[in-house]
């Protein structure tokens, strides 16, 4: 069954009002896993729900059109290459699905600390100087 929604705008003198695009999913192009937020009388923006990553072609001007379910890569150590002493965090930007960061008390010795931190974490060793 196909349901078609039609928006008819009539002057307010007839006592009819318009339907905002966010009130009917057929009147906006937000992804089903996104929410429509009104920004004006007939304008809106879309936003992916929590747990989804925005993979829209033009995220800066038309976000929330393509929402992809994030895979919990941080919950399964076999799905990420973070060091066991690193904190894995899911991300919604860039090509990587996650980032790694060495825990407090560890030093990041990863070969590429800028773009791939938290892959090699070495425990800090504190030396104390004993007086004689």
Please report the pLDDT score of residue 57 as a whole number: 92
In the chain, domain spans:
16-69, 77-123
CA distances for 78 relative to 89, 95, 123, angstroms: 15, 19, 22
Fold type of domain 77-123: Laminin (2.10.25)
- Contacts for 63 with CB less than 8 Å, ≥ 6 apart: 45, 46, 47, 48, 54, 56
pLDDT single digits (tens) 25-76: 899 999 999 999 999 989 999 999 988 888 899 989 999 999 988 777 888 8
Query: For residue 44, what are the β-bridge partners?
Result: 38
Residue 90, CB-side half-sphere exposure with 13 Å CA sphere: 14
What pTM was computed for the model? 0.46
């Amino acid at each position: 069954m196909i349901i078609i929604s039609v928006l008819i705008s009539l002057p307010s003198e007839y006592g009819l009002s318009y339907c905002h695009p966010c009130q009917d999913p057929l009147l906006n192009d937000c992804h089903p896993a996104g929410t429509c937020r009104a920004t004006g009388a007939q304008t809106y923006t879309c936003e992916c729900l929590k747990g989804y990553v925005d993979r829209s072609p033009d995220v800066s001007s038309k976000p929330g059109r393509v929402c992809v379910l994030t895979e919990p890569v941080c919950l399964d150590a076999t799905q990420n290459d973070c060091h066991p002493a690193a904190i894995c965090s899911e991300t919604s930007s860039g090509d990587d699905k996650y980032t790694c960061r060495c825990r407090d008390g560890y030093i990041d010795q990863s070969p590429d600390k800028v773009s791939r931190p938290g892959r090699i974490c070495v425990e800090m060793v504190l030396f104390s100087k004993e007086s004689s």
